[in-house]
Amino acid sequence: MSAPLSADLAQIGKSVVIKGELSGSEDLYVDGQVEGSIALKNHSLTVGPNGQVKASVDAKGVVVQGKLEGNVQASDRVELRKSAVVTGDITTQRISIEEGAYLKGKVDISGKADKAAGK
């Protein structure tokens, strides 16, 4: 599966390995390896089918097709596709998980609780 084409989409190809802090103000598609942290406050991260991410993720939306190890904080939504292998805690407002996805970790839907608590 190839990455969706968009003018505001940065791509990390499957032969690329990055270690460190990644931050940006555009959507990011990772089909390579990333280790460290990823911060995309108002944008989305997509981990492609070949992607291997070992990082804490803070983004608006997160779509996982490959492997992700680390805690995920998504202000909008998280999608785990059927080939996803995720190890880590997920905090988000909405989540969708396809049959076949593997998750080891907590799912915390923060929106409702936060609103109820007046946060």
Partner 1 sequence: MATVAQNFMKLFRSSSSPSPAESQQVPQKLTRRSSGLGELSRLWDSETPLTVLDLGSTSPTNITFFTGRGHKIYSEDLLVASTEPQLVTKDEQGNMVLDSRKFLADNLLYPAAHFDVVLCWNLADYLDESLVRPVMGRLWSVLKPGGMLLAFFHTKDAGPDSPCYRFHIIGKDTLEMQRIVMRREARRGPTGAIHTAIVDSFRLQRVFNNRHIETLFRDFASIKFFLARDNVREVMVVR
In the complex, the residues that contact partner 1 under the rule CB under 8 A are 52, 67, 82-83, 85, 87, 95-109, 112-113, 116
CB of 87 to partner 1, least distance (A): 5
Cβ at position 61, least distance to partner 1 in Å: 17
Q: Which is nearer to partner 1, 27 or 66 (CB)?
A: 66
CB 98 to partner 1: min, Å: 7
Ordered DSSP codes for 59-90 = EEEEEESSEEES-EEEEEEEEE-TT-EEES-E
Angle, alpha carbons 92-97-98 (nearest 5°): 165
